[in-house]
Amino acid sequence: IADVNGGPEQGLERIGERLSVRGWVRTCRMQRSITFIEVNDGSCISNLQCVMGSDVDGYDKVQSGLITTGASIFIDGVLVASEGSKQKVELKATKLILIGSSDPATFPVQKKKTSREYLRSVAHMRPRTNTFGAVSRVRNALAYATHKFFQDMGFVWVASPIITASDCEGAGQQFCATTLIPSSQEDTGCQISKIPGTKDGSIDWSQDFFGKPAFLTVSGQLNAEAYASALCDVYTFGPTFRAENSNTSRHLAEFWIIGAMIEPELAFANLNDDMACATAYLQYVLRYILDNCKEDMEFFNNWIEKGIIARLNNVAEKDFVQLTYTDAVNLLLKAKKKFQFPVKWGCDLQSEHERYITEEAFSGSPVIVTDYPKDIKAFYMRLNADGKTVAAMDVLVPKVGELIGGSQREDRLESLESRMEELGLNKETYWWYLDLRRYGSVPHAGFGLGFERLVQFATGMDNIRDVIPFPRTPGSAEF
């Protein structure tokens, strides 16, 4: 359907062609002598209107009331100019085949029941709606553009492990993976007491599947650094997991499980190279969807967030604002706005602060904040000459707050070791990471971008649960 409607003249150039369409019925309207069936095949927002008289092969299915919303059908016909005002062309059907019927009384995606909350409870059916169809296509285009950007720049895509012993961020937000037991085993319970070799809740790690505590990864960065230290520029793009007690106003004290993260790592690079890469990447993927997902973007512009197209165009064209953490704190201290969390030098910026900076202080421009205090950032960031701050950068954008977090990495063995000691990190767990500083260490930098946050930013969708196909949140792993 996108091929037909998306043509230069919205299908008019293809009039007279014999076409067939496979898809799902959105509506079926029977009038005296003609029936109109709106079919959607997921390729675009627009439906293809199919018209038929009672002489069409398969019309008996219409008559017996089986062509209902949600049913899957096949229609053969000829493309003709439409007399209706909503579309330029329509398919004059010659044959109709009902493939799978759909009981209208129980079909889960009724016109009346479309609240986001309700749709989350029927996550297997929500891609049938316009909103979720559009989100899925734009998400796909962003993923494609991500690979295209990095591939065109000569980066090598590296798969990072899902299960690991190292906590990259050192923030204790990992999910334990040690309860993994081969599913062939009869008892697949997840309680610690059921792990082989466990008695009274204490674990004998030598008996455990991995031989030591293992976790679901929070970030592929440390592994990416290993590959950047050999292949130069690399990136990862894969699932990451966080057991996060998020305290933003929108996600009060909920535990979120993040989806995919994109993590480029640049060798022989410093923080400026990192910021330039993040800016070019973000501008590229936004330009890509504005140019290639026009109909979906117009849908978001009309129904989800007014003005989003103009906003993204601006981001894709203008330079990002850049300021240090210290300047950001001073700016917040001078702000007239009352914040829920008070600000002082050394505090972590909360979502309300991040949003104030980008939305109000710099009227919607993305802002790159650099040089955070070392005490609120991860152990691997390069210590600045002042001994107090690190070469970190966060990219803040309207609505979302922190979209990207990155840094130049500590490439000096001694500095890294003393930082790890300060934080009480076990150097033995990170022996291989320290090796990268022992053998041919190079200045390098990288960043991580939460893919779901990018999809939220690019579509205007409010809730992160509505930009991931099957969200995993507390008590919900059903689909």
Task: Take residue 21 and report the two structure tokens written for it.
Answer: 């369409």
Residue pair 446/223 in contact by the 8 Å Cβ criterion: no
| # binding residues, ligand 4AD (CB under 6 A) | 23
- Cβ burial, residue 205 (10 Å; 0-12/13-18/19+): middle
Q: Which residue is nearest to Mg ion (CB)?
A: 405
Which amino acid, residue 140? N
Q: How far apart are CA 40 and CA 373, in angstroms?
A: 53
- Choose the contact partner of 219 out of ligand 4AD, Mg ion, none; CB within 5 to 8 A by kind: ligand 4AD
The reply on whether position 466 binds ligand 4AD by CB under 6 A is no
The reply on whether position 262 binds ligand 4AD by CB under 6 A is no
Residues 336-375 that bind Mg ion (CB under 5 A): none
Q: Which of 11, 446, 460, 471 binds ligand 4AD (CB under 6 A)?
A: 446
Q: How far is the CB of 163 from ligand 4AD (least distance, A)?
A: 17
The reply on whether position 11 binds Mg ion by CB under 5 A is no
Count of other CB atoms within 10 angstroms of residue 341: 12
Nearer to ligand 4AD, 241 or 299 (CB): 241
Nearer to Mg ion, 137 or 419 (CB): 419
- Nearest residue to 214 (alpha-carbon basis) of 260, 249, 180, 261: 180
Q: How far is the CB of 285 from ligand 4AD (least distance, A)?
A: 14
The reply on whether position 406 binds Mg ion by CB under 5 A is no
Any idea how long the chain is? Answer: 479
The reply on whether position 406 binds ligand 4AD by CB under 6 A is yes
Q: How far apart are CA 285 and CA 297, in angstroms?
A: 13
Contacting range for ligand 4AD; rule: CB under 6 A; set: 148-156, 281-289, 415-423, 449-457: 449-457
Q: How far is the CB of 154 from Mg ion (least distance, A)?
A: 27
Q: How far is the CB of 365 from Mg ion (least distance, A)?
A: 20
Nearer to ligand 4AD, 66 or 425 (CB): 425
Q: How far is the CB of 187 from ligand 4AD (least distance, A)?
A: 32
Contacting range for ligand 4AD; rule: CB under 6 A; set: 73-81, 295-303, 368-376, 397-405: 397-405
Backbone angles phi, psi at 149, to 5 degrees: -60, -50
- Choose the contact partner of 258 out of ligand 4AD, Mg ion, none; CB within 5 to 8 A by kind: ligand 4AD
Q: Which of 24, 215, 256, 300 binds ligand 4AD (CB under 6 A)?
A: 256
Site mask for ligand 4AD (CB under 6 A), range 18-57, x = bound: ----------------------------------------
Nearer to ligand 4AD, 70 or 448 (CB): 448
Helices (H) and strands (E) in the chain, counts: 13, 19
The reply on whether position 221 binds ligand 4AD by CB under 6 A is yes
- Choose the contact partner of 256 out of ligand 4AD, Mg ion, none; CB within 5 to 8 A by kind: ligand 4AD
Question: Long-range contact list for 278-282, CB < 8 A, 24+ apart?
Answer: 278/368, 278/393, 278/395, 278/404, 278/406, 278/447, 278/449, 279/319, 279/320, 279/368, 279/395, 280/149, 281/146, 281/149, 281/150, 281/449, 282/315, 282/366, 282/395, 282/403, 282/404, 282/449
Residue pair 402/447 in contact by the 8 Å Cβ criterion: no
Give me the DSSP letters along 210-222: TSS--EE-S-SHH
The reply on whether position 261 binds ligand 4AD by CB under 6 A is yes
Residue 344 gets which letter from DSSP? -
The reply on whether position 263 binds ligand 4AD by CB under 6 A is yes
Q: How far apart are CA 58 and CA 98, in angstroms?
A: 8
Q: CA-based angle 28:32:36, to the nearest 5?
A: 25
Q: Which of 58, 238, 405, 471 binds Mg ion (CB under 5 A)?
A: 405
- Residues 6 or more apart from 106 whose CB is under 8 A from it? none
Which residues sit at the interface with Mg ion, rule CB under 5 A? 405
Which residues sit at the interface with ligand 4AD, rule CB under 6 A? 168-169, 219, 221, 242, 244, 256, 258, 261, 263, 402-407, 446-450, 452-453
